C-alpha cells in the first residue's frame, strides 16, 4: 500500500515518425503522425498508476489549459487510476511536446504552456496532502521555484522525494540537499556536476544519486561499493518515456519498501517493457505484465 504524489507536467505529445531529419530550410516527408498523452510528470504518474493496486493512491498535481488537449489528457489520467483533485485548469494552452522519432530514438521540443503555471502560491490542501505522502516525485518540466519550494517543504516534514532533473537546467544543484533520490541520465549528471567523473559524483551522494546509463543500466554508490544494475536487452520500438517509466517504477518500489538495489532492478524491468511499444505511455506495464516476465523477482511483493 502506498501513497505517492507526482507534481509536474501534463502534455500532449505530437509525434512525427520519419526516416529523414530535415536540414535548415528543407522539407522532408514523414512516415506517420500521432498524438499521444505525455509530459514527464503525467508519464511518471501513469507508470505508477499502472503498477498500483486498489489500496494504493497516486495523485497528480499539475495544470492543463482550456483546450481540446486538456480533455483528452485528463481522461487518460483518470483511466490510469490517478487522483486529479489537484490538477488545475488555467487560461493558457495545454503543454505540448513536439517529438521527432527517428531511428527509434527521439528529439523533443517542449512548450510548457499551462505547466509553467504550476505554483505553490495558493496551496493549502496540497501541503497537507504532501505531509502524508510516502513519496513525492519531481521533474524539471515545471518551474524551478515550484520544485524548490516543494523539496524544501518535504525535507522539513521528512517526506521522501525522488528528483528527476530532466530536462537539465543550471539551477538544479539548489535542490539536491532537500531531496532523497536524484535520478539524472548520463548527460544530465554531467550538467549537474560540471563534468566531474562519475565515481566522484556517485561517492558524494551515497544511496542518493542514481545515474541511468541507457543500454548500460544504472549505477549508484551504496556507501561501500559502486553498484551497477544492468539493463535488460530489448527489442526497441520507441524509447520515449523510458526514463519516466523507470522513475515511476522506482518510486512505486521504494514507496513499498524495496531496497535501493532491488527497486532499481524493478524499475529496469519496467523500462525494458516500456520501450517495446510506441508512445511515452504506450508500453508502461501493469504489475501483472511485470510478473509474466522471467526477470520478475519473487521478493517483489506488494501489499
Ligand atoms: O520523457 C518523455 C516526455 O518528455 C514526453 O512524453 C514529452 O512530453 C517530453 O516532454
Pocket test for ligand 1, best of 108, 116, 239 (most atoms within 8 A of CB): 108
Examine the residue annotation and report whether 67 is marked as an active-site residue of this protein.
Answer: no
CA distance 147 to 136: 11
Name the residue at shortest CA distance from atom 7 of ligand 1.
39
Catalytic residue, candidates 56, 134, 172, 244:
244
Q: How many CA atoms lie within 13 A of 36 on its CB side?
A: 20
CATH superfamily of the 3-10+39-94+112-292 domain = Ribokinase (3.40.1190.20)
Between the CA of residue 280 and those of 11, 27, 29, 144, 189, what are the distances in Å?
11, 26, 23, 23, 22
Calculate how far, in angstroms, residue 251's C-alpha sits from the geometric centre of ligand 1: 18
Q: Of 295, 206, 204, 192, give the one whose Cα is nearest residue 249.
A: 295
What is residue 195's predicted lDDT score, i.e. its pLDDT?
Answer: 75
8 Å CB contact between 271 and 70? no
Calculate how far, in angstroms, residue 14's C-alpha sits from the geometric centre of ligand 1: 10
8 Å CB contact between 89 and 112? no
**pTM > 0.85:** yes
Q: Is 19 annotated as a binding-site member? A: no
CA distance 250 to 265: 9
8 Å CB contact between 33 and 15? yes
- 21-36 confidence digits (pLDDT tens): 999 999 999 999 999 9
What does 175-216 look like in DSSP terms, one character per residue?
GGGG-SEE--BHHHHHHHTTT--HHHHHHHSTTTB-EE-GGG
What is residue 194's predicted lDDT score, i.e. its pLDDT?
Answer: 87
- 222-278 confidence digits (pLDDT tens): 999 999 999 999 999 999 999 999 999 999 999 999 999 999 999 999 999 999 999
Dmax over Cα atoms in the chain, in whole Å?
A: 56
104 band by pLDDT with thresholds 50, 70 and 90: confident
8 Å CB contact between 77 and 10? yes
- 46-103 confidence digits (pLDDT tens): 999 999 999 999 999 999 999 999 999 999 999 999 999 999 999 999 999 999 999 8
- 116-145 confidence digits (pLDDT tens): 999 999 999 999 999 999 999 999 999 999
Q: Of 122, 115, 1, give the one whose Cα is nearest residue 60.
A: 115
| pLDDT, mean over the chain | 96
What is residue 48's predicted lDDT score, i.e. its pLDDT?
Answer: 98
- Of the two residues 184 and 303, the one the predictor is more confident about is 184
DSSP 172: G
Name the residue at shortest CA distance from atom 1 of ligand 1.
241
Residues contacting ligand 1 via CB (< 6 Å): 11, 13, 38-40, 43, 97, 108, 110, 141, 240-241, 243-244, 280
* Dihedral angle over CA of 237, 163, 207, 210, nearest 10: 30
Q: Is the bond preceding residue 193 a cis peptide, omega within 30 degrees?
A: no
Residue 292, classified by CB atoms within 10 Å of its CB into exposed (0-12), middle (13-18) or buried (19+), is exposed
CA distance 43 to 46: 5
Name the residue at shortest CA distance from atom 6 of ligand 1.
38
Q: Is 238 annotated as a binding-site member? A: yes
| Domain ranges (residues) in the chain | 3-10+39-94+112-292
Name the residue at shortest CA distance from atom 2 of ligand 1.
241
Calculate how far, in angstroms, residue 179's C-alpha sits from the geometric centre of ligand 1: 22
Pocket test for ligand 1, best of 114, 241, 275, 284 (most atoms within 8 A of CB): 241
Calculate how far, in angstroms, residue 38's C-alpha sits from the geometric centre of ligand 1: 5
105 band by pLDDT with thresholds 50, 70 and 90: confident
Q: Of 284, 286, 274, give the one whose Cα is nearest residue 52.
A: 286
Quick one: cell of 248? 515511476
Starting at the edge strand found earlier in the chain, the sheet holding 105-111 runs: 32-38, 11-18, 95-102, 105-111
Q: Is 217 annotated as a binding-site member? A: yes
What is residue 65's predicted lDDT score, i.e. its pLDDT?
Answer: 98
Q: Is 13 annotated as a binding-site member? A: yes
CA distance 136 to 7: 8
DSSP 209: B
How many residues can be counted in the chain? 303
- Of the two residues 196 and 246, the one the predictor is more confident about is 246
Pocket test for ligand 1, best of 34, 37, 39 (most atoms within 8 A of CB): 39
- 142-175 confidence digits (pLDDT tens): 999 999 999 999 999 999 999 999 999 999 999 9
Amino acid at each position: 500500500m502506498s501513497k505517492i504524489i507526482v507534481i509536474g507536467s501534463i502534455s500532449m505529445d505530437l509525434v512525427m515518425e520519419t526516416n529523414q531529419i530535415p536540414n535548415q530550410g528543407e522539407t522532408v516527408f514523414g512516415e506517420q503522425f500521432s498524438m499521444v498523452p505525455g509530459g514527464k510528470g503525467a508519464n511518471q504518474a501513469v507508470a505508477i498508476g499502472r503498477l498500483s493496486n486498489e489500496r494504493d493512491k497516486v495523485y497528480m498535481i499539475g495544470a492543463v489549459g482550456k483546450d481540446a488537449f486538456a480533455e483528452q489528457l485528463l481522461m487518460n489520467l483518470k483511466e490510469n487510476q490517478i487522483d486529479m483533485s489537484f490538477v488545475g485548469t488555467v487560461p493558457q494552452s495545454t503543454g505540448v511536446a513536439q517529438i521527432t522519432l527517428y531511428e527509434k530514438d527521439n528529439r523533443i521540443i517542449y512548450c510548457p504552456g499551462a505547466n509553467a503555471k504550476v505554483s505553490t502560491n495558493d496551496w493549502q490542501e496540497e501541503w497537507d496532502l504532501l505531509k502524508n505522502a510516502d513519496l513525492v516525485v519531481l521533474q524539471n518540466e515545471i518551474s524551478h521555484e515550484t520544485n524548490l519550494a516543494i523539496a524544501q517543504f518535504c525535507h522539513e516534514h521528512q517526506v521522501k522525494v525522488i528528483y528527476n532533473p530532466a530536462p537539465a537546467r543550471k539551477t538544479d544543484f539548489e535542490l539536491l540537499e532537500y531531496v532523497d533520490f536524484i535520478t539524472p541520465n548520463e548527460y544530465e549528471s554531467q550538467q549537474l556536476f560540471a563534468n566531474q567523473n562519475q565515481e566522484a559524483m556517485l561517492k558524494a551522494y551515497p544511496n542518493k544519486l542514481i545515474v541511468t546509463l541507457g543500454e548500460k543500466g544504472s549505477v549508484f554508490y551504496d556507501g561501500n561499493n559502486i553498484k551497477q544494475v544492468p539493463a535488460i536487452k530489448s527489442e526497441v520500438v520507441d524509447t520515449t518515456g523510458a526514463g519516466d517509466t523507470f522513475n515511476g517504477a522506482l518510486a512505486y518500489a521504494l514507496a513499498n519498501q524495496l531496497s535501493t538495489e532491488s527497486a532499481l532492478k524493478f524499475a529496469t524491468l519496467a523500462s525494458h517493457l516500456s520501450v517495446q511499444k510506441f508512445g511515452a505511455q504506450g508500453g508502461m506495464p501493469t504489475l501483472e505484465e511485470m510478473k509474466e516476465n522471467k526477470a520478475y523477482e519473487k521478493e517483489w511483493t506488494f501489499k
